A and B are shown apart, each in its own frame.
Chain A
Amino acid sequence: EDQVTQSPEALRLQEGESSSLNCSYTVSGLRGLFWYRQDPGKGPEFLFTLYSAGEEKEKERLKATLTKKESFLHITAPKPEDSATYLCAVQASGNTPLVFGKGTRLSVIA
């Protein structure tokens, strides 16, 4: 059974304090790993797709990396507007449904 585990559940950072969020997964043949950002009262907003181990993607202060067992979302010098819940999802080969983790709730304090 495909599974996604995100850690930590919640993370509180001072503005400018860099850190990483973890997404561990087990899947029978990875088609893609997805990162989303979700603000309160909103739907998930797509950030990145990673397809193979060693791949990296960047967007502003965010950088996503992928290994064969986990993905990291690195946040460099975060700002309060980066506060959100970050969701990780995997899709197995074929056209199987996305499997989501429970998310990491990030708070960045000024």
Chain B
Amino acid sequence: SAVISQKPSRDICQRGTSLTIQCQVDSQVTMMFWYRQQPGQSLTLIATANQGSEATYESGFVIDKFPISRPNLTFSTLTVSNMSPEDSSIYLCSVGGQRNQPQHFGDGTRLSIL
């Protein structure tokens, strides 16, 4: 399975600032996914990032808050904008899920907002 690297692994940020999370994959993939994992909650899909097209956002998530870039088939970024304490969470990048293949996850970015 693909090796997925996320940066940073953790960060502590001030309210009102923005943070960009990077996801690098060791092979070319068509679809990349961004999830949020809040304490005690299920993994929730934020958006699907396809190379060469706009990201597709799930209900409850908007581009202004979570802009995504997908410049090539091995890399994507997720920005968490104008952060508030409610954005404190783990953000995970995932690839796969096509042709009956499972999705594989990076180790996530642990984000705390003060």
Contacts and interface: CB of A to CB of B under 8 A. Distances in A.
What DSSP secondary structure best describes chain A's contact surface? strand
Interface of B: 1, 4, 33, 40-45, 48, 58, 92, 94, 97-98, 100, 102-108, 110
Nearest to A101: B42
A49 interface: yes
Contacts, number: 50
A46 B104 contact: yes
Nearest to B42: A100
A102 B105 contact: no
A43 B92 contact: yes
A20 B75 CA distance: 38
Given A41-B107, A98-B97, A46 B1 contact: yes
Interface residues of A, number: 24
Given A42-B108, A89-B43, A101-B42, 6 more contacts: A34-B102, A42-B107, A43-B106, A43-B107, A51-B100, A100-B42
A43 B103 contact: no
Contacts of A101: 42
Report, nearest first, the 8 A-B pairs whose CB atoms are least far apart. A43-B105, A100-B43, A100-B42, A97-B45, A46-B102, A43-B107, A44-B105, A102-B42
A34 to B, nearest CB: 6
A95 B31 CA distance: 11
Contacts of A4: 42
Nearest to B100: A32
Contacts of B41: 102
Contacts of A32: 100
Interface in A60-110: 87, 89, 91, 95, 97-103
